[in-house]
Amino acid sequence: MTSNGQGGHGPRTGAYTQAYDASITTPDEFWLTAARGIEWSAPPTRALDAEASESGRWFPDGRLNTCANALDRHVAAGHGDRAALIYDSAVLGEQRTYSYAELLDEVSRFAGVLAAQGIGHGDRVVIYMPMIPEAAIAMLACARLGAVHSVVFGGFAAKELAARVEDAEPKALVTASGGIEPARRVPYLPMVRQALEMTASAPQTVIVKKREQVAGSAEDHPDWLDWDGLMADAEHAEPVAVAATDPLYVLYTSGTTGKPKGVVRDNGGYAVALHWSMANIFDIRAGDTWWCASDVGWVVGHSYIVYAPLLAGATTVLYEGKPVGTPDAGAFWRVIAQHGVKALFTAPTAVRAIRKVDPDASLMGPHDMSSMTHLFTAGERLDPDTFEWAGKVLGVPVIDNWWQTETGWPITANLVGLEPMPIKPGSSTVPVPGYRVEILDDKGRQVGAGEEGNIAIRLPLPPGTLTGLWGDPERFHGSYMAAFPGYYATGDSGRIDADGYVFVLGRSDDVINVAGHRLSTGGMEAVVAGHPDVAECAVIGIHDDLKGQRPSGYVVLKSGSTIDADTLREELVALVRDEIGAVASFRDVTVVDALPKTRSGKILRKTMRQIVDKQDVVVPSTIEDMAVLEALEKQLGD
Ligand code: COA
Ligand code: AMP
């Protein structure tokens, strides 16, 4: 029996099966061997410390510096001239290449800047930046000092930034004057100021990278510091060796409530897992050019724009722009051709956006795409239609991989660097070594091959996965470990077929995925409920042809309210934009007479989603009032 213990697997004997089985039967040996890909100041003698936490801690006696592995070691090995990072800004029409030696110089100087501000091992630094090289430089500089970064996505508004600052209690915040969206400039500094006024945990140091295209600079505030000014006379800081189990970053992600979860990632396990993944999952090695078109504010950006490609000694493209509109739907093809990109990693929604505008991919015409060997997608389900279109126009394998902020790297994938497997559209292929993926029913019993259920991962989790939630062990246990003792509950539902292929079908909780961005409907409900005319509300994720899902709000008005539907909609849209951010893409508001509930008062969001998406409606036996559901079906079903 191989893989996950579910379904007959057929007699696979190839490199994948060997690696997978070794990772399960002799995990210590497997991961200590993988750990040799990393340079340690004290190499680990032990792999897993199962006792140290519920999910296990990796390499308990190892010491290393993640930044030194990403940069110094390549320079020391004589590769200082190799391109480390190519900044390609489609919104500005600018490009800049940093060699490994140049990037090391920038990072060690910015680490010197942070050190001079009193930042050291274990201190938190919030980074709120657009897709500019300084974002990656700030992250790596924190890693160099053993400080813990927490990057906040630039599309989040002040209140979301404040919530993250409040929780992480940073000593410094690093930002820029703003971001550049296709149709507008997004000034960050007013939001930073507002956010810092909302929290009692405002950091002592704020550093601002001035961008001439966006108004605002450090001069706007008496105590803020200018990035360029500080860098002009910065001292270089050397890498600080930290314990493998020390945190590298906290990345906040949406849970089912409005309060974001601070996913904690360690140094050693993460470095080992990412390094292993580049060669074995993505077939990317030193000297290859790799492009992950995500944002450093998301986990995909942390792992595959910044850390993994640099750990591998590859060249990473940091792209500031969109798949369409910057300037057109040929932008991705231009970047691939111009930089000789071997593999692109993006979200299916980006491919759908290109297809919508340029269905024949005619804008690919002038570009030489011959460097490209694979398209990898993640962040949301790769629907078979998009899979087929991308394969047809690109002429390369299109490979889905499934993972989460919590895991930090793929749970399931087609490991093309190890052993390419036949692709089944709709499946993200097989469990990655180290992940024991099982499908459980609601009582925690394994279901049969092909049956749908909750996707759970048997503990311990492999290296690189979360080690906890920042400052909240109870929530860590409650969110992930309590539902199925002995397992990590992913929150996704799906099935595993008789060949061991995993099909991820969607979230089984109130987290939604809008254009590859993970958002909480609970957070949006809290904002909508704050409107003075709203008695109660539900926000659900409904199908969207472009973005996969979009939020849709259903509102019951307070008795006596006379607000008209258009005004209410405008006000609610503005509120969500203001409190969560434009990225929520909250635009639909429907006024209803009542919300369907269970007898215990729980809103039947899943049933509502089935009505709106015109699926078969499954009515729970616990429904309080069937008439409410029937009225809603009549109103929404047409
Ligand atoms: N800073 C500020 N605002 C941002 C932002 C950022 N970093 N990112 C998005 N926004 C804003 C947009 O400007 C837009 O604002 P608007 O309502 O004023 O137009 C809003 O948030 C929604 O943005 P987006 O989700 O990007 O939708 P879009 O309609 O502008 O573009 C796509 C649609 C599909 C082209 C775009 O979503 C896309 O490129 N998706 C790929 C996502 C991705 O790579 N995700 C990573 C997961 S792996
Ligand atoms: P995030 O934490 O932002 O990476 O979002 C994780 C969630 O996105 C997962 O729990 C899934 O619901 C969804 N997701 C990510 N990748 C995939 C994929 N390849 N197929 C299906 N869903 C995915």
Q: Assign 3-class secondary structure to 292-324.
A: ECCCCCCHHHHHHHHHHHHHCCCEEEEEECCCC
The pLDDT of residue 255 is 83
* Centre of ligand 2 from the C-alpha of residue 28, in Å: 28
| Residue nearest ligand 2's atom 14 by CA | 380
The pLDDT of residue 169 is 98
The per-residue pLDDT for range 499-532, each reduced to its tens digit, is 999 999 989 888 999 998 999 999 999 999 999 9
* Centre of ligand 1 from the C-alpha of residue 134, in Å: 21
CA pair distance 354, 363, nearest whole angstrom = 10
| Residue nearest ligand 2's atom 20 by CA | 381
Q: Assign 3-class secondary structure to 108-174.
A: HHHHHHHHHCCCCCCCEEEEECCCCHHHHHHHHHHHHHCCEEEECCCCCCHHHHHHHHHHHCCCEEE
Which among 324, 328, 349, 570 is the best mutation to test ligand 1's pocket, defined by most ligand atoms within 8 Å of the CB? 349
| Residue nearest ligand 1's atom 37 by CA | 515
* Centre of ligand 1 from the C-alpha of residue 297, in Å: 12
User: Which atom in ligand 1 lies closest to the alpha carbon of residue 345?
Assistant: 48
* Centre of ligand 2 from the C-alpha of residue 347, in Å: 10
Whether the pLDDT of residue 230 is over 90: the answer is: yes
Which among 496, 513, 521, 547 is the best mutation to test ligand 2's pocket, defined by most ligand atoms within 8 Å of the CB? 513
The per-residue pLDDT for range 1-38, each reduced to its tens digit, is 334 445 444 446 799 999 999 999 999 999 999 999 99
User: Which atom in ligand 1 lies closest to the alpha carbon of residue 581?
Assistant: 21
Is residue 358 packed enough to be buried (19+ CB in 10 Å), middle (13-18) or exposed (0-12)? middle
Going by pLDDT thresholds of 50, 70 and 90, the confidence category of residue 107 is very high
Ligand nearest to the CA of 404: 2
The per-residue pLDDT for range 126-171, each reduced to its tens digit, is 999 999 999 999 999 999 999 999 999 999 999 999 999 999 999 9
Whether the pLDDT of residue 201 is over 50: the answer is: yes
Which residues in 290-300 are b (16+ Cβ under 10 Å) and which e?
bbbbbbbbbbb
- Percent of the chain whose pLDDT exceeds 90: 91
Which among 131, 181, 352, 546 is the best mutation to test ligand 1's pocket, defined by most ligand atoms within 8 Å of the CB? 181
The pLDDT of residue 12 is 64
| Residue nearest ligand 2's atom 5 by CA | 404
User: Which atom in ligand 1 lies closest to the alpha carbon of residue 293?
Assistant: 44
Which residue's entry shows tokens 């993926």? 437
State how beta strands 205-209 and 48-49 pair: unpaired
Task: Return the half-sphere exposure (C-beta side, CA atoms, 13 A cut-off) of residue 608.
Answer: 26
The pLDDT of residue 577 is 96
Task: Return the half-sphere exposure (C-beta side, CA atoms, 13 A cut-off) of residue 402.
Answer: 27
CA pair distance 50, 71, nearest whole angstrom = 31
User: Which atom in ligand 2 lies closest to the alpha carbon of residue 377?
Assistant: 19
Whether the pLDDT of residue 408 is over 90: the answer is: yes
- Per-residue pLDDT averaged across 548-568, rounded? 96
The pLDDT of residue 4 is 43
The pocket around ligand 2, CB under 6 angstroms, is made up of: 253, 298-299, 378-382, 400-405, 428, 491-492, 504, 507, 513, 518
The per-residue pLDDT for range 282-304, each reduced to its tens digit, is 999 999 999 999 999 999 999 99
Going by pLDDT thresholds of 50, 70 and 90, the confidence category of residue 440 is very high
- Per-residue pLDDT averaged across 605-625, rounded? 89
- Per-residue pLDDT averaged across 354-361, rounded? 98
Ligand nearest to the CA of 349: 1
Ligand nearest to the CA of 488: 2
> End-to-end distance of the chain based on CA atoms, in angstroms?
49
Q: Given this structure, which CATH class describes domain 506-637?
A: alpha beta
Read off the pTM: 0.95
The pLDDT of residue 508 is 86
Q: In terms of Cα–Cα distance, which of 518, 550, 554, 520 is closest to 535?
A: 554
* Centre of ligand 1 from the C-alpha of residue 356, in Å: 16
Whether the pLDDT of residue 319 is over 70: the answer is: yes
Report which secondary-structure segment, H or E, holds 280.
helix 268-280
User: Which atom in ligand 2 lies closest to the alpha carbon of residue 491?
Assistant: 10
Going by pLDDT thresholds of 50, 70 and 90, the confidence category of residue 53 is confident
Whether the pLDDT of residue 56 is over 90: the answer is: no
Whether the pLDDT of residue 111 is over 70: the answer is: yes
- Per-residue pLDDT averaged across 343-355, rounded? 98
* Centre of ligand 2 from the C-alpha of residue 249, in Å: 20
Give the mean pLDDT of the chain. Answer: 95
| Residue nearest ligand 1's atom 5 by CA | 155
Percentages (nearest 5) of helix, strand, coil residues in the chain:
35, 25, 40
Q: What string of DSSP letters covers 11-52?
A: ---SHHHHHHHHHHHSHHHHHHHHGGGS--SB--S-SEETTS
- Percent of the chain whose pLDDT exceeds 70: 98
- Per-residue pLDDT averaged across 606-629, rounded? 90
Instruction: Please tell me what DSSP assigns to residue 77.
Output: I
Whether the pLDDT of residue 638 is over 70: the answer is: no
